[in-house]
């Protein structure tokens, strides 16, 4: 079989046929009165605009391939990832953003440069066409898990507020009282990543591997990349969730501590 050298282009007609696929979810929305047609059109349009804009910017960044610009791009991604995590939860952004940004950045950068330096062994670990896409994959997966973890953590504590206060009143420290909620939220956020890893290759072919194969890369090499990136994603997700939960525990429960002091005085 001849090796594929150039990936098949998608023309205007391809995008038209792609847009026609949206008729199916629109019909479902209309029949069940889900009310998502307008929202779906806006989101798909926004996604398309953002991706084309990023594509143009990345073309310039890849051509320049300046280490400073590449690292700056990664830090901009980290800022928006951290901000999105907090915006997607019940917690106020302001008090948590600086600390969470620093710790979330450390967790992602450590794994990112470990991956580029020791696993794929790049001569230039700041090379844009590796650094930026890999950073995006690590952050994207970690972002979703963090939103799940913090929302579950918040709801769990809220639903068991009296039990949490009771533990504090009988002498438990804040960390001891919150540990069961931390444990449950971390487990719930990591389950999707573990499920994806367990079914990968059997139920579905992951995006990175599929993209490389479509681009003409040998399937075995594509598999090697996919295995290593999934391990890196899992590690980054665990570290990211841990960091976010710890920040919330340290900075988000001062009001409860004051409440417990008042109860003890009574």
Q: What share of the chain is helix, strand, coil (3-state, %, to 5)?
A: 80, 0, 20
Would residue 81 count as lying in a domain? yes
Number of H helices, E strands in the chain: 11, 0
pLDDT digit string (tens) for 111-142? 999 999 999 999 999 999 999 999 999 999 89
Give the count of domains, the chain. Answer: 2
Rounded CA-CA distance 148/242 in Å is 12
Token pair, residue 101, equals 């940004």
Would residue 160 count as lying in a domain? yes
The verdict on 33 and 128 lying in the same domain is no
Would residue 234 count as lying in a domain? yes
pLDDT digit string (tens) for 142-152? 998 999 999 99
Token pair, residue 47, equals 């996604």
Would residue 259 count as lying in a domain? no
Confidence band (pLDDT; 50, 70, 90) for 263?
very low
The verdict on 197 and 164 lying in the same domain is yes
What are the contacts of 208-217 at 24+ separation with CB within 8 A? 208/137, 214/4, 214/7, 214/8, 215/4, 215/7, 216/3, 216/4, 216/5, 216/6, 216/7
pLDDT at 254: 62
The verdict on 194 and 237 lying in the same domain is yes
pLDDT digit string (tens) for 11-41? 999 999 999 999 999 999 999 999 999 999 9
Which residues contact residue 232 at a Cβ distance below 8 angstroms, ignoring those fewer than 6 apart?
A: 111, 112, 114, 115, 119, 134, 138
Instruction: Give pTM, 2 decimals.
Output: 0.84
Residue 222: Cβ-neighbour burial (10 angstroms; 0-12, 13-18, 19+): buried
160-184 average pLDDT score: 89
Q: Is 90 exceeded by the pLDDT of residue 87? A: no
Strand partners of residue 204: 200
The verdict on 222 and 107 lying in the same domain is yes
SS3 label, residue 215 = coil
The verdict on 53 and 118 lying in the same domain is no
The verdict on 223 and 240 lying in the same domain is yes
């Amino acid at each position: 079989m001849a090796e594929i050298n150039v990936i098949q282009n998608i023309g205007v007609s391809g995008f038209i046929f792609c847009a026609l696929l949206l008729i199916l979810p629109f019909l479902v929305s209309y029949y069940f009165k889900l009310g998502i047609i307008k929202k779906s059109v806006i989101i798909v349009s926004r996604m398309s605009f953002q991706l084309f804009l990023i594509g143009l910017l990345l073309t310039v960044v890849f051509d320049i391939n300046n280490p400073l610009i590449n690292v700056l791009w990664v830090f901009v991604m980290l800022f928006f990832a951290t901000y999105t995590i907090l915006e997607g939860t019940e917690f106020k952004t302001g008090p948590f953003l600086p600390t969470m940004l620093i710790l979330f950045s450390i967790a992602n950068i450590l794994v990112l440069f470990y991956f580029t330096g020791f696993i794929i062994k790049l001569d230039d670990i700041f090379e844009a066409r590796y650094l930026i896409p890999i950073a995006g994959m690590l952050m994207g997966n970690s972002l979703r898990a963090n939103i799940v973890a913090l929302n579950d953590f918040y709801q769990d504590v809220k639903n068991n507020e009296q039990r949490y206060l009771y533990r504090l009143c009988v002498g438990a420290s804040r960390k001891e009282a919150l540990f069961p909620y931390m444990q449950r939220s971390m487990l719930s956020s990591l389950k999707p990543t573990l499920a994806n890893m367990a079914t990968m290759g059997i139920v579905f072919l992951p995006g990175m591997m599929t993209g490389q194969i479509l681009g003409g890369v040998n399937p075995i090499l594509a598999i090697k990349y996919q295995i290593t990136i999934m391990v890196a994603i899992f590690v980054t997700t665990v570290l990211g969730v841990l960091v976010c939960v710890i920040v919330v525990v340290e900075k988000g429960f001062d009001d409860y501590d004051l409440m417990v002091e008042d109860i003890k005085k009574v």
